[in-house]
């Protein structure tokens, strides 16, 4: 293999790795019927709870809507084990 081909192959490999590492993680904005919204990385489900799922572009459009209350992740609110309802956290 010539030096030029080796350099092209190395450049293509580096670009592919860079793209793979820079791709955003799959994420959802999860909302309940009362307008509580928060981020999750999977479509979570809890018995008796109706949730809707949106992408980040939806969040950008609705960020300032008065109907929605936005909740940020923290150590006390692990969305793997609970959900928001009417502004209150419910641990599962």
What's the CA gap between 83 and 9, in Å, rounded? 48
- Residue 9 has a pLDDT of 52
- pTM, two decimals, is 0.66
Inter-residue contact 71 to 36 (CB < 8 Å): yes
What's the CA gap between 41 and 30, in Å, rounded? 9
Read off the pLDDT of residues 50-73 as tens digits, 9 standing for 90 and up: 999 999 899 999 999 999 999 987
Reported confidence tier of residue 5, pLDDT bands at 50, 70, 90: low
Read off the pLDDT of residues 11-39 as tens digits, 9 standing for 90 and up: 544 444 544 444 445 689 999 999 999 99
What's the CA gap between 39 and 15, in Å, rounded? 30
**Residue 4: pLDDT over 80:** no
């Amino acid at each position: 293999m010539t030096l030029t081909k080796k350099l092209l192959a190395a450049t293509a490999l580096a670009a592919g790795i860079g793209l793979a590492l820079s791709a955003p993680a799959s994420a959802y904005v999860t909302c309940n019927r009362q307008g509580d919204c928060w981020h999750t990385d999977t479509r979570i489900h809890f018995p008796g709870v109706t949730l809707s799922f949106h992408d980040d572009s939806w969040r950008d459009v609705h960020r300032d809507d008065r109907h929605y209350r936005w909740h940020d992740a923290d150590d006390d609110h692990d969305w793997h084990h609970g959900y928001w309802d009417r502004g209150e956290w419910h641990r599962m």
